[in-house]
Amino acid sequence: MSRIEDHALIGDLQTAALVDRNGTADWLCLPRFDSAAMFTRLLGGPEHGHWTITPAPAPDAGDTDPPQAVRRRYRGNSLILETEWDTPDGTVRVTDFMPSTVGVRGDAPRLVRIVEGVHGRVPVRSVLRPRPGYGTVVPWIRAEGDRFAALAGPDALWLDAEPPTTDENSTLVSEFTVAAGDRVAFTLAWHPSHAGIPPLPDPRADLTATAAYWKDWTARCTYTGPDRDAVVRSLITLKALTYAPTGAMVAAPTTSLPEEIGGTRNWDYRYCWLRDSALAVTTLARNGYLDEARAWRAWLVRTVGGDLDRLQIMYGIAGERDLAERELAHLPGYENSRPVRVGNGAAAQLQLDVFGEVIDALDTARRHGLEPCPRAAALQVRLVELLERRWREPDEGIWEVRGPRRHFVHSKVMAWVAFDRVIRLIESGDATGPAERWRGLRDEIHREVCERGFDSVRGTFTQSYGSAELDAALLLIPVVGFLPPGDPRVTGTVEAVRRELSTPDGFVLRYPTAGPGAGVDGLAGEEGAFLACSFWMADALALTGRPDEARELFEKLLALRNDVGLLAEEWGPQRRRQVGNFPQGFSHWALVDSAVALARGTGAFVPGQRAHLPSAVQRSLRPAVVA
């Protein structure tokens, strides 16, 4: 079984595939991110579907695993993956990509794999085992001239292979030799089974168009500071998680990659969390990508609709509301991490912080040049009207706990953000609403958080009112402008989180977990260090006047990326491996924000961002004297 970080991502802005270091595409959902997987080897075994292209083993090698590549890289700033093997016979390269010609792949999404001889003569073997329905369906494979179709209910997969190919027990096998300069192409296209035969592909034209698309897209990046390569790769990853037809963004392209190897914290992330997508859109907008912010804003307005009392914290990528969670008992899970889940029950939770993140994203995009939208402005006012009724309630919070609801401090802080940003919108003239009343509510929330969410004995904010636990989300208090970085309550919280939630190697946990018993989140088991929280710590150190320590932590985090610059959700300090769904949007936008913050030398805090507030609120934000 390949490690999570042994994978690279390719995609077409509607779905994505993972390819490991031995040339195996072992995860692919078609035609969308949230469709049932055609290749599910990642969560099971070879029998659950995969496509392996690799140098052929020697005749006497027996049943051995495919050799791992010696080198791999993305071609420039793109999602075109190049993987190379050196063998006794020579060197061979496989180029993998999914066409993204104009940001939308057309009616026949396809995975293209081009095998190229670099030098010598190398025997190569391709083994394509499509197994739709998360590995439960053996398709009917039939030949259509030189093409092969794998039919299964509504799905048809069409293979166009240049070398001779045979059907061996519903597995398509090609064996051939490439010499220096040879190029042999394969294209696997999805098509509705009732829709007839898709057009013949042109893989070389697809490659040219895809390279041009990514070159044009990355040229729009406005970031020019240090660590630009890491920033651009993370921005490409965020773009790859975008569902181009609607503007939605998935949290990750996978399901059930475990937060603890062998554990049960395995969730489906192939949906659009309002929080996750809002934070990603904020990052994209700050770095020159307003088209993505505009498309997401349109998706948001359409999806939320007129019934805000039924607001969900996540939706399907086309705005679907029914994300019922179920388990796939036939799959053993990644390294026996059960259960494998599809759907996500957290969709029904109350998470008050979402209001702040969504409204702040729209505010950020507007301040970076996105044109006003009356419908989006009206939606923000309606969201705050709903929040006005509900902000005093306990909720499940940013980490969507599956235990009792609590008055999470971060949730209340983000409620403050929601009122603050809508007041700013009203003051700009782009919306109307009871600004004076909401200023009073904003002040009330601020006072309550400082009174009920702060432990004056320990000198730190706590995870929830009256609790002793800490929460890494508290590091965002100065970032969003709730308190200035120099406030003793901020510096005390940063120190407490660093002291109590850091792993031995300096990375940061979200909150304490409790081993075999149910912890504060209502779940058993442990989890790794949450990478976004570790980037937040770097920001907090920079904000509070410790730039050298911030840079040191940031560099350690960059070193956790795999060889092609990708990060999962968490870092498992015991096994020293990436864990969680992969690649994770949360980790990549946090990386970009930290890089930008460290480059300007002031952390993620923008000086003067509260200058628009009246004097009464300014006074409420002055540092307090802490005993």
Say how many C-beta atoms besides its own lie within 10 A of residue 63's C-beta: 5
Percentage of the chain with pLDDT > 70? 92
Extract the tokens encoding 428: 């700009």
The pLDDT of residue 502:
94
pLDDT of res. 1: 77
Q: Is the pLDDT of residue 609 over 70?
A: no
The token pair at 30 is: 């078609």
Average pLDDT estimate for 47-56: 97
Do the beta carbons of residue 379 and residue 304 sit within 8 Å? yes
Query: DSSP per residue over 33-46, as a string?
Result: TTSPEEE-GGGS-G
Residue 422, pLDDT > 60, answer yes
Taking the C-alpha atoms of residue 177 and residue 303, their distance in angstroms, rounded to an integer, is 51
CATH code for the part of the protein at 4-217? 2.70.98
Concatenated DSSP letters of 390-456: HTTS-B-TTTT-SS--B-BHHHHHHHHHHHHHHHHHHHHTS--S-HHHHHHHHHHHHHHHHHHSEET
CA–CA distance, 138 with 47 (Å, rounded to integer):
10
Helix extents (H) in 429-530: 435-452, 488-501
Pair of tokens at residue 460: 């730190």
**CA dist., res. 582 & res. 255, Å (int):** 9
Q: Tell me which residue of 566, 625, 615, 563 sits closest to 591, measured CA to CA.
A: 566
Q: Among all chains, which residue has been given the structure tokens 């997987």?
A: 37
Q: What band does 621 get if pLDDT is binned at 50, 70 and 90? A: very low
Mean pLDDT of 218-238: 96
Mean pLDDT, residues 516-521 taken together: 60
Contact in structure between 400 and 344 (CB atoms under 8 Å): no
Higher local confidence (pLDDT), 127 or 622:
127
Mean pLDDT, rounded, of the chain: 92
The one-letter code for the residue type at 622 is: R
Residue 235 pLDDT exceeds 50: yes
pLDDT tier for residue 515 given thresholds of 50, 70 and 90 = low
Alpha-carbon distance 188 to 354, whole Å?
A: 39
Distance (Å, whole) CA 409 – CA 453 = 6
If you average pLDDT over residues 193-218, what whole number do you get? 93
pLDDT at 623: 32
Residue 619 scores a pLDDT above 50? no
521 falls in which pLDDT band (50, 70, 90)?
Answer: low
Q: 107-111, 140-144, 410-414, 588-592: lowest mean pLDDT where?
A: 107-111
CB 39 within 8 A of CB 131: yes
* 153-176: average pLDDT: 96
Question: What is the CATH number assigned to the segment(s) 242-529?
Answer: 1.50.10.10
Residue 611 has pLDDT above 70, yes or no: no
Three-class secondary structure of residue 479 per DSSP: coil
In the structure, what pLDDT confidence band is assigned to residue 60 with cuts at 50, 70 and 90? Answer: low
The domains of the chain are located at: 4-217, 242-529
Confidence at residue 239, expressed as pLDDT on a 0 to 100 scale: 98
Evaluate whether 350 touches 275 at the Cβ level (below 8 Å): no
pLDDT at 620: 35
Answer yes or no: is pLDDT of 106 > 80.
no
Task: Single out the residue of 405, 417, 515, 419 nearest to residue 463, CA to CA.
Answer: 405
Helical (H) or strand (E) element with 342: strand 341-342
Indicate whether 36 pLDDT > 90. Answer: yes
Give percent of the chain above pLDDT 90: 85
Q: What is the pLDDT of residue 571?
A: 95
Lowest mean pLDDT among 151-160, 278-287, 304-313, 432-441: 304-313
In degrees to the nearest 10, what's the CA dihedral of 299, 302, 306, 310? -50
**pLDDT beyond 50 at 614:** no
- Residue pLDDT, tens place only, 351-385: 999 999 999 999 999 999 999 999 999 999 999 99
Question: What average pLDDT does this structure show over 609-614?
Answer: 32
**Dihedral of the alpha carbons of 550, 552, 556, 559, in degrees to the nearest 10:** 110
| Cα 430 from Cα 365, distance rounded (Å) | 14
Dihedral of CA 225/572/11/346: which sign?
negative
Mean pLDDT along residues 156-176: 96
Identify the pLDDT of residue 130.
98
Q: Which of 297 and 108 is assigned the larger pLDDT?
A: 297
Least confident piece of the model among 230-239, 400-409, 448-457 = 400-409
- Strand 272-273 with 314-315, pairing: antiparallel
pTM above 0.95, yes or no: no
Q: Is the pLDDT of residue 212 over 80?
A: yes
Q: How does residue 128 score in pLDDT terms, banded at 50, 70 and 90?
A: very high
Q: What is the mean pLDDT of residues 145-163?
A: 96
154 burial type by CB count under 10 A (0-12 exposed, 13-18 middle, 19+ buried):
exposed
- C-alpha span between 583 and 254 (Å, rounded): 8
Which range, of 162-166, 167-171, 397-401, 524-528, averages the lowest pLDDT? 524-528
334 CB-contact burial (10 Å; exposed 0-12 / middle 13-18 / buried 19+): buried
